[in-house]
Structure formats: structure tokens, C-alpha cells
Amino acid sequence: MAFPVHRPRRLRGSENIRRMVRETRLSVDQLIQPFFVIYGRDVANPVASMPGVYQFSVDRLIPQVKETWELGIPAVLLFGVPEHKDPVGSGAYEREGIIQRAVKAIKDAVPEILVITDVCLCEYTDHGHCGVVSETGEVLNDPTLELLAREALSHVEAGADIVAPSDMMDGRVGAIRRALDGEGYTHIPILSYAVKYASAFYGPFRDAAESAPRFGDRRAYQMDPCNVREAVKEAQLDLEEGADMLMVKPALPYLDVIRVIRDTFPQVPLAAYNVSGEYSLIKAGARLGWIDEERVMMETLLAIRRAGADIVITYFARDVAPLLGS
């Protein structure tokens, strides 16, 4: 008898057989493309630490969103860079704020694409924290909730299809749900950044969104990277408060957390955010000629799917979409 008897290699011999037995797939249907919107006209500022990513003014954003839709990507996630910042982040909930204008313009030009808005104050506050700050520099939870609820409501009034709170205040999903329901927006889903770690991988994003904290860091409200049981608690609370979809963020350094959340809460769609630092590291390695960008991108996005994410939020969405089969 020939040895060995068991030969897994039999199923690896050609691309065609590999294609047939593949367990994990990435489809364009599962992608969300983030965009940064800035005030002004005819602006396309490249973000130095994120090659291929720009801050677009509304007029320049529209053709980008059109192209995204034509690639088959179902949704965009919007971040705003306002003209003025203040201690309470007023720009976040103004009727004519940057996000509100961008949402309206997208809904006029490309009505089919899902517009998801990031709900947070850090891009709009002069101190760069995600909530209201006390005299002693503490980020105050409960006073922030009302502002986040106003922000989410103003995004929905402008036409947002889904709101995605990313601030990590306790109780914000419930506060937003109540505010939306109170105005008759019971049909608008909440995609909660339920499990969001205090991560150094957000560095390039803070250049793009101009949202780095002026003092301190976000460790008093974002999660400690050492914790995974706490992730279950965060996800559970957000579901109790009315979250329709959950998110884990970042993705690649937290694949184990994605798997735990996927298995613990099989009843809800799970998104993972392949964040700015994960993107920039691949771009940088490719620029140095040290890695094959396309293959590393694909392997990374597949790893996030294999860990259990249904949806992947990624700056690579438009790069990867043309490479995917149906």
C-alpha cells in the first residue's frame, strides 16, 4: 500500500479544484468604502499617510461615489472634516454641516447606494476628544449622549440610510435609537462600533480626519487591547440597546475577537473595520518593494472574512472590487 494514505494535496492540484473546495469567499456585496469629506469646492487633498485616500469636497466626492456604486460596492461610510471646531462639536449636528450636505448630495446623485455616517464628535471638537470634556479634562459620558443623538438624527434627516456610532460612550446606542424613533425613523438601522479598541492603528486616520486628541488619549473610553470577555459585554449591551449590526475594530490584530463575537451573537450581521493603519502598512510595504500589495491585500481581507466578519469596511474596497468574481 502506498504511503501516505491521506493526501490533502489531491484537492490542491489546480486552480479549478481549489476554486471548488474554497471555504471562504470575499464578494463585492460585503464591502463598505469609507470617504473623508471636507468643506470647500474642488478640493482633493491627498492624505500623506494613506496613499490613494483623499479628503474630497462634496463636488469632488460625488463622482467618486458614482464610481464606487458602478463597481458594485453597496455602501459608503462618511467622515466629515468641518470648517470650524469648538468644545461641543457643533459642526457635527448643524443642519448645513459637512456630512449633512454630503449625504444630501449623494442621495440626489446616486440614490441607490447606502450612505452610512460615522457618528462621533472627535472630528468636530477643538480638543479632539469624542465627547464633551470637563474642566479637569475628563470626557463626560452622559452629557455627550444628547449631542450624539442630535448628530445621528441630523444625519438621518439629511438622508443617511444607516448610522454608525463610533464614540464608545456608554448608552449611546439606546440614546440614538430613542432619538430616531421619537422622530419616526424607526426603520433606520444602527451599525454599532460595539467593540472598538484604543488602538495605535488609527494613526493615519487621524491625519485624514484631522481628529487627533490635543491632550491625553482615548483609553478612558475605548477598549483595552488586552480584553476579550469585555468585548462580549460591549456587544451584548449594544444589542440590548437596539443595535442592528455590530462591528469589531480594528480587524487584523483582533481576528480572535471577531471570531468570539461571531460565535456568541450568531443572530446579527457582524462588520469588521480594516482600519487606516492596517491599510497604510500594506501600502508602505508595497512602496518599499518588500511585499506584493495585491496578494497581501487579498489575504488580509480573506482573513477578516474567515475570522467571521460578514462585512468588511476597508479603504481597499475600490481596489479589490474589480478583482472579485461574482
> Given phi > 0 = left and psi -120 to 50 = alpha, else beta, which region is 63?
alpha
Q: Which of 174, 68, 85 is nearest to 121 (CA)?
A: 85
DSSP letters for 229-245: HHHHHHHHHHHHHT-SE
Query: Catalytic pick from 104, 196, 233, 283?
Result: 196
**Residue 55 or 166 having the CB closest to ligand PBG:** 166
Comparing CB distances to ligand PBG, the nearer of 65 and 223 is 223
CB–CB of 260/235 below 8 Å? no
Q: How far apart are the C-alpha atoms of 282 and 118, rounded to whole Å?
A: 24
CA distance 310 to 269: 6
Nearer residue to ligand PBG within complex by CB, 104 or 206: 206
Alpha carbons 204 and 182: distance in angstroms, whole number = 37
CB of 14 to ligand PBG, least distance (A): 38
Q: How far is the CB of 2 from ligand PBG (least distance, A)?
A: 52
Q: Does residue 85 have an active-site annotation? A: no
- Helix pair angle (255-264, 229-241), 10° resolution: 50
Helices marked H in 200-275? 203-208, 229-241, 255-264
- How far apart, in Å, are the Cα atoms of 84 and each of 96, 131, 218? 13, 16, 22
Q: Which is nearer to ligand PBG, 109 or 284 (CB)?
A: 284
In the bound complex, what is the minimum distance in angstroms from residue 220's beta carbon to ligand PBG?
13
Give the nearest distance from C-beta 44 to ligand PBG in angstroms: 19
Site of interaction with ligand PBG (CB under 6 A):
118, 120, 122, 130, 166, 202, 205-206, 218, 275-276
Of 182 and 201, nearer to ligand PBG (C-beta) is 201
Q: How far apart are CA 251 and CA 18, in angstroms?
A: 26
Instruction: Give the residue closest to ligand PBG by C-beta.
Output: 205
Q: Is 196 a catalytic residue?
A: yes
Cβ-Cβ contacts under 8 Å for 249 (sequence gap 6 or more)? 166, 193, 195, 196, 197, 199, 272, 273, 275
To ligand PBG, the closest distance from the beta carbon of 143 in angstroms equals 17
Q: Tell me the catalytic residues.
A: 196, 249
